[in-house]
């Protein structure tokens, strides 16, 4: 008969964070109440999801339509060879629940489009962008601006990357800063490559 595992205590699991004067019990409780959407579960998305879960962000919403492929494994840290051809969000959700049973993880194996983007992002405190194309980024950006949700934009290729936080009306939006950028195969990981550690650093 399989053992039923009890959830670990919050105080013990996060003890090395709670002891920090910059965070403390109150900060940890705030993290536990936070809800974050991660769009794109590639190199950036998996690293972000893992560290947000371990930090104690209480509710993660994962959105990605892709399945795990062999060339993902050197940088997409939630997957193993046994996960090939399975939906990324379902594999990620299962692994995150295992590493931290205290967090709630939702998995949406869906393609973001104009008809569902606001519904999928509604109700979260911020959105983490792990996407690989500007067309979908603009779509997410417009939804975040309309819904007044802070949007954390990241990108990684080769040994380079960038990170920006957009929170209109306090800041410009992504499209205001980077308008009319077309997707190009010349800027893809397929062509330029990406060092395995680069997404984790970003």
Over residues 6-61, the pLDDT tens digits come to 788 999 999 999 999 999 999 999 999 999 999 999 999 999 999 999 999 999 99
Instruction: Quickly state the pLDDT bin for 194 (edges 50, 70, 90).
Output: confident
C-alpha dist (Å) from residue 197 to 22, 71, 84, 157, 183? 28, 14, 21, 11, 24
The 10 Å Cβ neighbour count of residue 198 is 21
pTM of the predicted protein model: 0.92
The model's pLDDT over 60-113, given as tens digits with 9 standing for 90+, comes to: 999 999 999 999 999 999 999 999 999 999 999 999 999 999 999 999 999 999
Does the structural domain 22-201 have CATH classification 3.40.50.1370?
A: no
pLDDT at position 34: 98
Beta-bridge mates of residue 61: 37, 106
- The C-alpha atoms of residue 200 and residue 117 are separated, in whole angstroms, by 26
């Amino acid at each position: 008969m399989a053992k039923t595992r009890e959830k670990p205590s919050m105080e013990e699991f996060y003890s090395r964070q709670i002891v920090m004067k910059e965070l403390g019990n109150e900060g940890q409780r705030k993290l536990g109440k936070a809800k974050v959407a991660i769009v794109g579960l590639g190199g950036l998305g998996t690293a972000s999801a893992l560290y947000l879960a371990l930090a104690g962000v209480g509710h993660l919403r994962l959105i990605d339509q892709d399945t795990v492929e062999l060339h993902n494994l050197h940088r997409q840290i939630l997957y193993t060879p046994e996960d090939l051809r399975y939906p990324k969000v379902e594999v990620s959700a299962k692994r995150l629940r295992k590493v931290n049973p205290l967090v709630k993880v939702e998995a949406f194996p869906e393609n973001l489009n104009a008809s569902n983007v606001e519904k999928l992002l509604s109700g979260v405190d911020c959105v983490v962008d792990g996407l690989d194309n500007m067309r979908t980024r603009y779509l997410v950006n417009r939804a975040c601006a309309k819904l007044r949700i802070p949007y954390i934009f990241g990108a990684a290729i080769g040994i380079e990357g960038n990170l920006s936080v957009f929170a209109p009306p306090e800041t410009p939006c992504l499209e205001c800063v980077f308008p009319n950028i077309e997707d190009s195969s010349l800027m893809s990981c397929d062509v330029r490559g990406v060092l395995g550690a680069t997404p984790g650093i970003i």
